[in-house]
Amino acid sequence: MPYDDLRVFLETLDREGQLLRVTEEVLPEPDIAAASNAVTRLGDRAPALYRLNDGDGGFYIDKAAVVSRDPDDPHDSGKQNVGIYRLEVKGRRKLAIQPVPMHDIAQHLRKAEERDEDLPVAIAVGNDPIISIVASTPLKYDENEYELAGALLGSPAPVATAPLTGLPVPWGCEVLIEGVIERRKREIEGPFGEFTGHYSGGRRMPVLRIDRISYRTDPIFEHLYLGMPWTEVDHLIGPNTCAPLYKQLKSEFPEVQAVNATYTHGLVVIVSTEKRYGGFAKAVGTRVLSLPHGLGYAATVIMVDEDVDPFNLPQVMWALSTKMNPSSDLVRIPGQPIMELAPQPDHPGIIDKLVIDATTPVGRDRRGSYGNQVHDLPEMREWLGKLQRIAADVAAAAQAQEGNLMDDNLRPSSNTSF
């Protein structure tokens, strides 16, 4: 069901017994971090609670919707971006932001810096859950997140205008932070307990200057726990990563049946497909790696037959065990891009990617006999000579005709006098 804002959503959680209220006074450290680690161990019974990793390099805002526009085309609503990016609190008016190069805000920042400009941004904290869903969905660069939200809601998503930057922001958010990402300014950000289950190190990241903060009466701060999977981020990001991957692949390959990208933000993608011809599954698998999500996240793609459910791991393991031939079904593609938070590369940001073809092999085309070469007929040379002589006669006749025409043009007319 749709919710008007975060407060209505929390009221619903409360009625359903999924909201845990801690009434005693707690400390930011270590209480919230310890509670965060403890609550994830409740599994499916885990309630809503403020959450924080215990080894973070600082305090983070990590479930805010960050809104920005394309500096080169600010009036194109398709090129605006609503995304979720981690924000480290660096001071009263300063945040550090991590714009992963594959994400739209990184393109906005690059264009702004090329123009020698700061990039205006608005940060909405505490939103209607549908906003969190669309903000973490890997849409194409010119696709509008609010339009997707409206499609999911069944009516236009309510949007307000930020008072300082004029950016379109989610209506009803609890806190609205406005400012600019300062051009060409970088500071150390991190470490942070990431969705991979590892702590990322410190890196130089862009700096965001806060110029205005607006908020509702008694605002509610919403936080997201990331850490050793599975956590709530996997439940949030997994489904809305699968859907666009499926749609993008299906538009090019109607044979694709389902896409599972729910594990660790889709670092592994499992695709089931029918096969049009030999090598088809491998071709689909390599296409995954060049889609918007695949460029920065998918490191391994597993291809299975159409009768294998990619969400059923026992079935997938059966396909890997019985259909994958290591000598011919592994496609290794070196030097591919990957987000720098992925812990497995030898060099951050670059990795060798792998497509595993665990589909039933398609036999070679047997309509011809490729061991029996076509040879020239014995009479071919005789006919070659005949055709060459005929061609020579035709060429000679054409040349003679051309000569006659030239003589006629040079012959004087009867009434010409000298």
Active site residues: 194
Query: Can you read off the two tokens belonging to residue 395?
Result: 């060429």
What number of other Cβ atoms are within 10 A of residue 322's Cβ? 9
Q: Which residues contact 373 (CB under 8 A, 6 or more apart)?
A: none
Q: Are 205 and 189 in contact (CB under 8 A)?
A: yes
Q: Are 104 and 215 in contact (CB under 8 A)?
A: no
Angle, alpha carbons 92-132-47 (nearest 5°): 90
State whether residue 158 is helix, strand or coil. coil
Q: Are 279 and 273 in contact (CB under 8 A)?
A: no
Taking the C-alpha atoms of residue 8 and residue 18, their distance in angstroms, rounded to an integer, is: 13
What number of other Cβ atoms are within 10 A of residue 289's Cβ? 22
Query: Can you read off the two tokens belonging to residue 257?
Result: 């049946």
DSSP 8-state secondary structure symbol assigned to residue 31: I
Backbone phi and psi for residue 401, each to the nearest 5 degrees, phi listed first: -60, -40
Query: Can you read off the two tokens belonging to residue 32?
Result: 């919230």
